[in-house]
């Protein structure tokens, strides 16, 4: 049904649109104190209301911050905004607080877990949260990760739809088919991302029970991406075969909720979620707006929690998944096999070559061929692919293997605490207010800083430092930088948005 997709993309000159796909990230991370324990301080009051904040939220625990970027068609845009948000978050912390850099939480005792269970300042989520504690326990629910949101411009789908009108009754059904192909291929090839980006080789004392901990004979690539990580319980009736078809996915989630196996669609912890509609049933009629990929461990070697090269790689990888046909006849068996393969790779020793090495070489070669076939003359793409080909060849270059070198007595507690301090100093000691935004005047940076604190969305145009847009409660205002001289940011924002609540 999606025959000749690559040829049609070339015929319509859509290569650049494909690689100008939109990425946004959600980075979950814990606040800790200077000793490396989970922070017991409340969410920073400076950061506006979590009921509507577009960028700075909390997740399962009060200590678990969540940074959400806007979608950008360039990796540079994502990284720049992420750096701004991490800077603002770090500067809002108490003096003794830092951001824990790893997906697996720091060392905990029973009192720490009880504190997490008892302290959470979002009453609207309390019933759901208690349900999750009873079902999964505190430890598993406070594993953190990086989620990546992915979409392609509507014009891309509209241009291609002319070739597939006989197979799909509407543009929405065509769009769903393409997005779901990406989702299926992502699940089938998930093991490669676990190998390249896995960074949770050990769990600290207090995470697993003694009997569970004894099952790990050595450090691994990614506990989080294994069957012992952030996954649904087996009895939830939502396994990897949900991805066998779009219809099966929708029906499977709906039935799991109806039968009481899941509290709601948000309790589905699969590697890919369909996003854009409030109700799962609405995807048939309204369509998928974007995909959410949930398999990335926090990168402890990056102060922002995600590596720039990883996002560049992902752009190419997702384009490759889009143009790669899915074997529908054997899809269920292939999905089951992919689940087992990913789990095997996740539990491999980090400094050993993976059993999937040969398949990885094949995929990376196909990705290189794709950018040549589509005539994408972006030097960075080739460099990034050659880099990760090297990582595939030399497992000691993977994040999980690098963590082995800094491990002390099977623990990353000391490393995590030291890196947390280093990252905070890096983000807060700069004389520049927003180091990644120096092309804007200091006064404009002050306004953006205060806007983000108060939960106002900002938009800037690439290579344009003369104006910006601010949005609050659905109202958008254009601000000209030259008009900001001697302006007090908070008062100015209150003038723009009279309903703004300033603490």
Please give the average pLDDT of every successive group of 10 residues along the chain, which has 503 residues. 96 96 98 97 90 92 96 96 97 97 97 93 86 95 98 98 97 98 99 99 94 91 96 85 97 95 95 97 98 99 97 98 98 98 98 98 98 87 97 99 97 98 94 89 95 96 87 96 92 96 77
Whole-number pLDDT of residue 503: 67
Q: Classify strands 97-99 and 22-33 as parallel, antiparallel or unpaired.
A: antiparallel
Contact (Cβ atoms closer than 8 angstroms) between residue 17 and residue 155: yes
Q: Which residue, chain included where needed, has tokens 């720039």?
A: 308
Domain ranges of the chain: 5-421, 436-496
Residue 370's pLDDT is: 96
pTM of the model: 0.96
On whether the CB atoms of residues 423 and 99 are closer than 8 A, the answer is yes
CA nearest to 368, candidates 347, 383, 385: 385
Residue 19 and residue 94 in contact, taking contact as beta carbons nearer than 8 Å: no
Fold of 5-421: Creatine Kinase; Chain A, domain 2 (3.30.590)
């Amino acid at each position: 049904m999606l025959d000749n997709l690559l040829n049609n993309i070339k015929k319509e000159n859509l290569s650049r649109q494909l690689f100008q796909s939109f990425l946004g990230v959600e980075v979950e991370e814990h606040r800790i104190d200077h000793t490396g324990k989970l922070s017991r301080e409340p969410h920073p009051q400076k950061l506006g209301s979590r009921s509507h904040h577009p960028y700075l939220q909390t997740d399962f625990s009060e200590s678990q911050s969540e940074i959400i970027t806007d979608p950008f068609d360039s990796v540079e845009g994502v990284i720049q905004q992420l750096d701004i948000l991490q800077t603002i978050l770090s500067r809002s912390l108490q003096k003794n607080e830092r951001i824990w850099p790893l997906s697996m939480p720091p060392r905990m005792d029973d009192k720490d877990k009880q504190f997490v269970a008892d302290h959470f300042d979002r009453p609207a989520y309390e019933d759901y949260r208690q349900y999750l504690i009873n079902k999964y326990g505190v430890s598993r629910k406070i594993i953190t990760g990086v989620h990546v949101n992915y979409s392609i411009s509507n014009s891309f789908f509209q241009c291609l739809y002319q070739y597939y009108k006989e197979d799909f009754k509407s543009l929405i059904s065509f769009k769903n088919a393409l997005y779901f192909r990406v989702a299926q291929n992502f699940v089938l090839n998930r093991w490669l991302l676990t190998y390249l980006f896995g960074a949770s080789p050990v769990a600290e004392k207090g995470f697993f029970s003694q009997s569970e901990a004894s099952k790990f004979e050595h450090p691994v690539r990614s506990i989080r991406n294994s069957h012992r990580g952030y996954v649904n319980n087996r009895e939830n009736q939502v396994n990897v075969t949900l991805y066998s078809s779009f219809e099966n996915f929708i029906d499977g989630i709906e039935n799991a909720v109806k039968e009481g196996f899941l509290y709601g669609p948000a309790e589905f912890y699969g590697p890919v979620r369909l996003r854009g509609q409030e109700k799962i049933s609405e995807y048939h009629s309204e369509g998928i707006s974007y995909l959410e990929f949930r398999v990335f461990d926090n990168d402890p070697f990056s102060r922002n929690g995600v590596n720039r090269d990883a996002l560049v790689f992902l752009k190419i990888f997702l384009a490759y998944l889009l143009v790669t046909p899915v074997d529908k006849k054997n899809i269920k068996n292939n999905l089951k096999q992919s689940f087992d393969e990913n789990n095997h790779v996740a539990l491999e020793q980090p400094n050993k070559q993976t059993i999937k090495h040969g398949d990885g070489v094949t995929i990376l070669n196909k990705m290189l061929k794709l950018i040549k076939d589509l005539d994408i003359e972006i030097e960075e793409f080739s460099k990034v692919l050659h880099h990760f080909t090297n990582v595939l060849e030399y497992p000691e270059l993977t994040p999980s293997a690098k963590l082995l070198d800094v491990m002390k007595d099977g623990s990353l507690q000391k490393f995590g605490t030291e890196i947390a301090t280093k990252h905070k100093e890096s983000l807060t000691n700069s004389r520049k207010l927003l180091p990644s935004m120096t092309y804007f005047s200091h006064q404009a940076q002050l306004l953006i800083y205060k806007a983000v604190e108060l939960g106002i969305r900002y938009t800037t145009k690439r290579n344009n430092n003369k104006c910006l847009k601010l949005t609050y409660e659905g109202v958008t205002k254009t601000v000209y930088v030259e008009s900001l001289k001697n302006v007090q940011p908070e008062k100015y924002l209150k003038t723009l948005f009279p309903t703004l609540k300033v603490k």
